Every structure is written in C-alpha cells, then in structure tokens.
Chains A and B, each alone.
Chain A
Amino acid sequence: MATFYIFMFLPFFSALLVPFLYKYLNRQIHTGWFVLLAPLSILIYLLQYIPSIAAGETYKFTLSWIPTLGIDITTYVDGLALLFGLLISGVGALVIVYSIFYMSKGREALHHFYVYLLLFMGAMLGLVFSDHLLVLYGFWELTSVSSFLLIAYWYERKSSRQGALKAMLITVIGGFGMLAGFIMLIMMGDTYSIREIIAQVDVIQQHSLFIPAMLCILLGAFTKSAQFPFGIWLPDAMEAPTPVSSYLHSATMVKAGIYLVARMTPIFGGSSVWFWLVAGVGIITLLYGSLSALRQTDLKALLAYSTISQLGLIMSLLGVGSLAVYFGPGEQGTVFTVATFAALFHLFNHSTFKGSLFMVVGIIDHETGKRDVRYLGGLMQVMPITFTIAMIGAFSMAGLPPFNGFLSKEMFFGAVTELAHVSTFGLESIGILFPIIAWVASIFTFVYCMIFVFKTFGGKYHPEKLTRKVHEASLGMLFAPMVLGLLVVLIFFFPNVLGKYILAPALTSVLPMMPVTAYDLKISAWHGFNMELLMTIGVVVIGFLLFKSAKRWVRVIRNYPQELTLTHLYNIALPAMEKGAASLTNRYMTGSLRHYLSYIFSFFVMLLLGSLLLLYGIQFDFSNNASISLFDVGLVLVMIIAALTVLFTNHRVVAIVALGAVGYMVSMFFVIFRAPDLALTQMVVETVTTVLFLLCFYHLPKLKKDIERIPFKLTNLIISLAVGLTVTILALSANGHKLFEPITSFFENAFELAGAKNIVNAILVDFRGFDTMLEISVLAIAGLGVYVLIHQRSKRREHDETE
C-alpha cells in the first residue's frame, strides 16, 4: 500500500527537487534526464499490476487525510485506472525524452517547465486512481491549473497568455459544474466512494437529483474533453510548447473527461438522457472537429481540431456503449459492449498516433522554423524518418490498414450501424443518422490526414520559403515518435495482446454487469467482408477523390465567415460580459453619497416595514402609557416648528438657530422625564455643537455661501416620510410589548452595591464602566483625528507656500 502511494505521489516529490537539480546540474546534464526517472519508474511499477488486474483482481488502498470529515485519499486500481495510468506514465516518459531534445538547455527555463509537467503528471495519476469523489475533484482542478501554467509557458507572448486564460476559464467552469454534480451524487448515495455509489445504483436512479447530477458531471467532462461547443480552448492551447501539446492536449488531459464518462457509465448509463447527450454530443463533435480541421493551415491547429474530432468519436462510442447497461446481459447488450470496447481501444490508439503526430509537427517546426502548410512541402526526401512516422500516424488516424486506427474505426462503424436496429430511446426514427454522420466525418478525417501528410512532405521543396537549412532531426528527438509509431503498427498486428491484458479489464470496470466471456471472442473478430469494410472502402475512395480535387472546394470551407465560429462568439462574449458588468456597476455606483443613502434608506424601509407587515408586528397597545400634559404638547409643537424651519429655511444661520432650539427642547424634555444628568450633558453638547456649526459655516467656500433652500425632490420626500413612518410604527409597536420585566430594580441598590446615590453615575462608572472607558477612547480618537486633519492641512499649506 505504501509503495503504491510513493509511486502515485512520486511526480510531486520530484517536482520539488527539479529546481535544485536545474540550478546545480543544468550546466552539464539536461534536467529532463532526471525528470525521466519519475514516469519510467511509475510505468515499471504499474506494469507489475497487469497480470493480476487481467485476472480480474482489483486493489483498494486508503490513505487517511481528513478522517473526521470522511475525506481520505482512497485509490482504487482496476482495469480502467490502470489503462490510464499506463498511458500517463508511458506517454509521459516518451514526451520527456522528446522534450530533452526539443527544449534547449541554455535558452529555456527548464526548471519551470519540468515542475509544471510533473505537477500535471501527478495530478493526472491522482485523478485516474482516485475513488473518493472530492479527492478526484481536487486532482481534476490541479490538472486544469498545471495545464494553464504549461500553456502559458512562454508567458511573454500575448497569444500564449490568451490561450491559457481561455483554457482555464472553460475547464474551471466545467470543473465547478462537476463539483456540484459530485456533491449531488454524494447526497444521493450518502458516500464519497465511487465504488459504493455504483453498488447502490438502483436507489440513485430513482432519485430526483439523478438528472441534475448527470448534467453537471457531463458539463465537467465535456469542457475538459473539448466536446462541442466547449472545444474552442483546445486550438488556442496549441501555443504551448509541442511536448506539452503532445502530452496534455492529445494523450492525457483531454481524456480526463472521457475517463470521467467511462467511470460514471455504471451509474448513469442506461438512462436515455445520458445516451443522447454523450453519443449525440460526441458525434456532433466528431463532425465539427473534422470539418474545422480542414480549414486549418497551421499544422498544430489542424491536429488540435483532429483531436477534438477523435475525442468526439470516443465519446460517442461511450454513449453507444452505455446502451449495454440498458439492455443488460444478452445478445443486444453484447453488441453494445463492443462499442465500449471500441471506445477504450480507440482511446489507446489515439494516444499513440496523436502523440507521435504532435511530436512530428514539433520536429518540423524545430527544423524548418515553420509549421504552416502553405510554406512547407517536399520534405519527404529531406526528412525521410519523420515522414515515415507522420505517415504511420496520419494513416492510422485516417483509419487505414495496417495501422491500429483501422481496427478501431471498423469497430466504430460496427457500433454505429447497430444503432439503426435499435428501437428504444427514439432511435428507430433518427438512429440511421448516426452511421451517416460518422461516415461523412470519417471522409473529412481522411481528407485532412492526407492534407497533413502530402502537403507537408509531398509536392515540391521550397527552400527559399524557409528560414533555416533543413535536415533530418537528431535521433534523440526521433526516438519518442518512433516508439509510438512502432506501437501503432504493433497494435494492428497483435491487437489481442493489448485487448486481453489491458482493455478487457478496463471494459469490466466500465460495464461491470456484463459477463467477460461474451465479448472475449469479439476482440479477435476484426476480419471479414462486411458492412464496416465497405464503409471504409467508401471513405478511402471518396476521400481520395476529395483530396485530389481539394484545390476547388477547400476555398469554400476556408472562406467560411469568421464571425460565425464559436471562437468568435467567445471573443465577443467576454468583452460584452465585462462591458455589461461595468455598465451595471456604473449605473448604481454613481459616486454620489445621496444615491447611496437613498439605497440604504429604501432597503431599511423595505426590510423593516416588510417584515413588520409580513409577521403581523404592528400592534399598538397604549394602556401602559403615561398621561400627556398640555406643557408637553407645547414643547413638541415648538420642536416640530423648529425642525420644519431647518428644512424650509434658505439661510444657514436660521438653520443653526433652529437646531439649537431643537436641542434646547430636548434638554427640556429630559427635565420633564426627570433626567438631570442627561439634561446637563445635552445642554453643554448642544451649545458646543452650535458653536462648531458656526465655525464650519465660516469655512465654507465663498461660492456656495449664498445657497438657496434645499431643492425639492419627490423621491427624497417619499423615502424620508417612509423612514419616519417606519421608525414611528416600530417604536410604538415595540413600546406596547415588553417581553420581560426591566432589570432596573437591580440598579436601585446602587448605594448598597456601589456606594453611590446617583444611579446614572453609578451605572456609568461602576456597573457598566467598560462602556464608559471605550466611549472615552472614542472621544480621544475623535480629538486626535481632528488634530491630525487640521495639522496635516496646515502643513500642506505651508508646503505649498514654500514651493
């Protein structure tokens, strides 16, 4: 168990060491050689699992992390996780070998590059081995972050930064949706473990959160795996160094969504929504990607769209395969089990050939300085080995024998043609569309594969268009694509070895309910003259004719208006959102204090009056009130007159005098209500305030001195009346309802308890002296503040005078 975790976290430990190695050893040895040890050892360690996993065993390890919350780093090693683990470590090792020769030792910041790459590798391994949903999400986000860092590796380029931002935004939005879906799953199953959720799938399928959880999780999977319409980040992510594109954006990260869909198939598979979303979106992505790839002249962009298209193919196969869950064990179920098998098979194949193709483009870019097909051509004689690898990869992608893409494409055709015979989920009417779209998309795939090979390597050689003297790449750089190319061919001739030891156990984890023996035979049944072969022949013939006549029609696709692409939509949506948010904020954040005050008061009224009305809080009870004397009425009248004078006067001195009158009357009321201390304080404070007002008045700027009366505004009147009314109602309602006896009787013992005859003073300095202390500090702060403000101002004035 400990060994497993050591290997799982090995990339993170190595990432810690990389900067030191770079600093002290980079002069002699390329840092990549040390980094290579990590994926190699992981690969060798994981290879040991193959026999036991193929025999049907699974392993579960638990590393305690936050036990009180039930969060542990639970890992579950089964066929699917092992398949991905082998891909990640294997392609990872090859990509690092490639990067050693691709990334210059002197010019590049290798310590950044390898730290990010190792972080990504560790995150990806954690993702595929996690059984705990929240830990899986954590690793998922870590792949997004490390991918962001890798895309923006050449951060001084604007396009790199934009591509990284786009990838980050889209994948993180999806990841967030996925987290919501996971939480719903956890709520439904009352467990964090995917294993245990699968075990109680019957309960979950009846739950009302089933569909929302599915949609949220699919959002995460579709954004990560660049499905329609979220695929737009992938072409822009091509700004990353080529080893990164090869590793992340063809072989591993973009398959995280595929992994998630495969992992969730036992839970959601069998539902019609799942089938239609996964298969439908997949097949649309397949067509969209292959059509868009035709428009590209940049080789990397072409490969990016072809990745999108192939991912759509895998996704649609997984969707078709989920029908097996619906039909269950039986003849029809077995047919669709083959679809899932084909998905896993193509997943593996795609990693091999697409990884090698990206490396080929990197080599071309490295040797010629260009990767635009319009500048390239005739490289066949100059770079024969590169050409051979490119041909193997591209022909495999196009689905030609004798390469592994042929097998998976045949199985794909087989699976989609089966759909025409299904009479559930509404397939009887439009099920026939699936094979047609798949076939058309395959023709386009064939065409762009041919463009890739023959526009780059065929035709005439134009040395004058290229900046460098072209020659074959070094053997070190060719090593990794050669290994992958070799795999492409080997898998074609010995597919059953791979099928039996790696893909069959993976299939068991995707479709645990299907018996193993039913498809055991199907793996080897790739020969025979059938419908699939006819379709492939059709693809080749029509594709060849289209490629030959490409000059006539390719302009039609290239001239497809830029305004109608999804990228354009993203490009206008982002500034539009910023603009919308800015205008919304500017509309209410006016900078005017009056507006903010009116918002505050309106909400005050709405909240208080609303809750008073809704909760039936308006109940007046005057039974306990004291009687009102004529003298009180007179004083109130004086106060009202004085207050109104403040409002309606057009002279400031009058307002100050009237305010003084109000203050005096308040003091008078304190007398009537028998509060001598308050009356004293009120008198003094009122006088001081009046004098202060006069001081301020003198310092007002000259221009505004002769201000007229306050301008009338209806909204202000309404708000002020409403606030007054609210407070009055609140006070009157509160007055009639005393919930419990006041505690004043305690303070009446002031003499016995505190030795004071004045209760108010005893409360202030004895019973509640703490408040008094803090109020004294408030006064001190206010005094200091006033001093500082005046002092600073006079200092500045002196400063200005000296200038």
Chain B
Amino acid sequence: MIFQTILLIALGILMLSILANMYRVVKGPSGADRVQALDSIGINMIASIAAYSVLFHTHAFFDLILLIGILSFIGTIAFARFIERGVVIERKR
C-alpha cells in the first residue's frame, strides 16, 4: 500500500516534470531548447512507463521503454542535424 502511494507520488512528480518540459517547448527561445525539452519528455515517459509497469504488475511495456530510449535518441539526432546543417539525410555525391 505504501509502495503504491510512493509510486503514485512519483508519477505525479513525473507529470509535473513533463509539464515543465512542455513549458520549455512552448517558450524556449531557440530551436535547440525545444528539442532538448522533447528529448527530456521522452526520458520522463520512460520513467513513468516503468512506474506504471510496477503499478500494473506487468512486463508488457518493457519493449516500449527500450524503444523510446532508441527513438528519442534518433529523433534528437535528426533535429540536431537539421538545426546544424539544414538537412537530415545527406546525399552522397
């Protein structure tokens, strides 16, 4: 019971963190700030999914946790390349 309460509190904090990140996405003066915030939202999602998995007593979402790890990385790299060079995939000539 106490463990559950702790998990719920953790979820609440994670949600606040996502909201805070959202503030950065909206406000963020530069594109890089926003991409950073999106990446951070992904990390927060990983954490909340883990918390949920414990709460639901299931391991069905473990794949998702790994996937978000990869995809959030790829997405951030893509944005980074875009901001840096203007292109996501460069053509070999």
Contact = CB atoms under 8 A, between A and B. Distances in A.
Nearest to B30: A653
A773 to B, nearest CB: 25
A694 B78 contact: yes
Contact of B60 (A635, A668, A676, A687): A676
Interface string A150-181: 00000000000000000000000000000000
B37 to A, nearest CB: 8
Contact of B34 (A635, A653, A671): A653
A631 B82 contact: no
A657 B41 CA distance: 11
Contacts of A634: 12, 15-16, 18-19
Q: Which of B22, B74, B82 has the most CB of A within 10 A?
A: B22
Given A638-B19, A645-B26, A694 B38 contact: no
A553 interface: no
Nearest to B37: A657
Interface string B24-59: 011000010011011001100100110010001010
Contact of B71 (A653, A657, A683): A683
A630 B22 contact: no
Contact of B11 (A631, A658, A694): A631
Contacts of A727: none
Contacts of A713: none
Interface string B65-93: 00110011011001100110011110000
A289 B88 CA distance: 82
Contact of A676 (B42, B64, B88): B64
Interface residues of B, number: 40
Contacts of B35: 657
Given A668-B48, A683-B67, A695-B88, A645 B82 contact: no
Nearest to B35: A657
Nearest to B14: A631
A679 B61 contact: yes
A641 B26 contact: yes
A680 interface: yes
A791 B78 CA distance: 24
Given A637-B19, A654-B31, A657-B38, A694 B88 contact: yes
Contacts of A631: 11-12, 15, 48
Contact of B64 (A661, A679, A698): A679
A17 B44 CA distance: 89
Interface string A619-634: 0000000000011001
A667 B61 CA distance: 11
A631 B37 CA distance: 19
B42 to A, nearest CB: 7
B20 to A, nearest CB: 10
A642 interface: yes
B25 A661 contact: yes
A684 B34 CA distance: 20
A368 B25 CA distance: 95
Contacts of A657: 25, 31, 34-35, 37-38, 79
Contact of B75 (A676, A690, A695): A690
Main SS class of interface, A: helix
A698 B75 contact: no
A635 B31 CA distance: 23
Q: Which of A642, A657, A676 has the most CB of B within 10 A?
A: A657
B82 A680 contact: no
A799 interface: no
B26 A691 contact: no
Main SS class of interface, B: helix
B61 A676 contact: yes
Contacts of B61: 671, 676, 679
A634 B17 CA distance: 10
Given A634-B15, A635-B15, A641 B67 contact: no
Nearest to A670: B64
B22 to A, nearest CB: 5
Contacts of A654: 25, 31, 34
A672 interface: yes
Nearest to A637: B19
Nearest to B32: A653
B89 A695 contact: yes
A690 B16 CA distance: 25
B49 A680 contact: no
A674 interface: yes
A660 interface: yes
Contacts of B15: 630-631, 634-635
Contacts of A638: 18-19, 22
B13 to A, nearest CB: 10
Q: Which of B11, B15, B61, B87 has the most CB of A within 10 A?
A: B15
A664 interface: yes
Contacts of B72: 687
B12 A630 contact: yes
Given A631-B11, A657-B34, A664 B88 contact: no
Contacts of B22: 638, 641-642, 661
B28 to A, nearest CB: 8
A672 B26 contact: no
A694 B38 CA distance: 15
A676 B25 CA distance: 27
A642 B18 CA distance: 12
Interface string A675-712: 01001100110110011001101100000000000000
B69 to A, nearest CB: 10
A694 B78 CA distance: 8
Closest 3 CB pairs of A and B: A634-B15, A676-B60, A687-B71
15 contacts: A631-B15, A634-B12, A638-B18, A638-B22, A645-B26, A653-B79, A653-B83, A657-B34, A664-B41, A667-B45, A668-B45, A671-B64, A672-B52, A676-B61, A683-B67
Given A672-B52, A674-B56, 17 more contacts: A631-B11, A634-B19, A641-B19, A653-B31, A653-B82, A653-B83, A657-B35, A667-B45, A671-B48, A674-B60, A680-B63, A683-B67, A684-B67, A687-B71, A694-B78, A698-B82, A698-B88
Interface of B: 11-12, 15-16, 18-19, 22, 25-26, 31, 34-35, 37-38, 41-42, 45, 48-49, 52, 56, 58, 60-61, 63-64, 67-68, 71-72, 74-75, 78-79, 82-83, 86-89
